[in-house]
Amino acid sequence: MGFLINQYQGFSGNAVDMASVATQCAQYLQLPGDLDKINERLVRYYVAEGLVDRPKRIGRDAEYGYLHLLQFLAGRFLVEAGFPMQKVAPYLNGLEEGQLESLVMNKSKPNMAELLVASFKYGDRRKDQLTDVDPIRQIPWVRSSKKTTKSQGNVMYSMECASQSIRDPLSEVGDLIGDRIGDLNQAIKEGLSDIRRTQASALKSTLNDLTNNFSLQLEQMRMEMAHERERWHLHMERQREEQRIMLEQYNILNQEMIQALINEQGKGKENA
C-alpha cells in the first residue's frame, strides 16, 4: 500500500496524465490486462460507465486526482478479472480510499453477493450526490434571492439538473470528438510522412538507377573509344608499313634505272 500512497497520493492531472500514471502502477502491481490499452479514451470510458468519478472541471480542462487513479486501477482489475462492468461501478462507488488501496494492492476480489448488495445499496453514487444537495444553495441565480421559496428552488434545481444532464453528455461527446480529431490529425501527419518517405525513397531509387545507367553507358563509351584507338593504331601501322615497302620498291626501281642508263652509255662508247 505504501507504493501508491508515497508515490501518487498527490497526483493531479488530465486524462493523458492519468493514463500514463495508471500504466506505470498497473505494470508495477502486475495487474491483469494489456497495458497498451490503457489510454485517455479508456479513462473517459470508465468515467462514462460510472467506474470512475467525474473529474473536476477547471475551465475546459478536466482534472483527475488520487481517488480517480485508485478507482481506475480497481475497476480495470475487476473488469479484467471477469466481473460485469454494470456491477463493478456501484461496488466501487461504495468503497473509500483506503478500501480501494487495499483492493488494488492485495488484488482482493469480491464475490457476486457483495456486488449485488452494492448495486442495491449504493446504486449510482453520482445521482445520490445530486439528491443530497440543497437545491437552493446550488443554483447561482437562487442564492442572491432571499424571497425564493423551497418549492421554487426545487423546480429551479430540477431545471439545473436537467441542464447538467445535457451538458455532461455534450462535454463527453466534445471530448470524444476532440480525441477523434486528434487521432485524425495524427493519422494525416503519419500518412503525409509516409508519402514523403515513399516519394523520397522512389526518387532516391530513380536517381540510383539513372546513376547506374549513366555509369554503364560511360563505361561502354570508354570501351568503344579504346577499341577505336586500337583500330586506328593498327591502321596507322599498316599505312606506315605500306609506305616503307613502297619507298623500298621506289629505291630499287631508281637504282635499276640508273644502272640501265650507265649500261646504255657504256655500250655507246664501245660502238664509237
Taking the mean position of all CA atoms in its chain, how far away is CA 6? Answer: 33
> Which pLDDT does position 142 carry in this prediction?
44
- Centre a 10 Å sphere on the Cβ of residue 55 and count the other Cβ atoms it contains: 20
> Which pLDDT does position 68 carry in this prediction?
95
Residue pair 69/21 in contact by the 8 Å Cβ criterion = yes
**DSSP assignments along 43-98, one per residue:** HHHHHHTTSSPPPEEETTEEEEEHHHHHHHHHHHHHHHTT--HHHHHHHHHT--HH
> Which pLDDT does position 109 carry in this prediction?
83
Residue pair 66/10 in contact by the 8 Å Cβ criterion = yes
Residue pair 120/94 in contact by the 8 Å Cβ criterion = no
> Which pLDDT does position 130 carry in this prediction?
40
> Which pLDDT does position 195 carry in this prediction?
86
Q: What single DSSP character describes residue 30? A: T
> Which pLDDT does position 5 carry in this prediction?
60
> Which pLDDT does position 152 carry in this prediction?
52
pLDDT tens-digit series, residues 125-179: 544 444 434 444 444 444 444 444 545 555 554 555 555 555 555 555 566 676 6
**Low-confidence residues of the chain, pLDDT below 70?**
1-6, 118-176, 178-180, 272
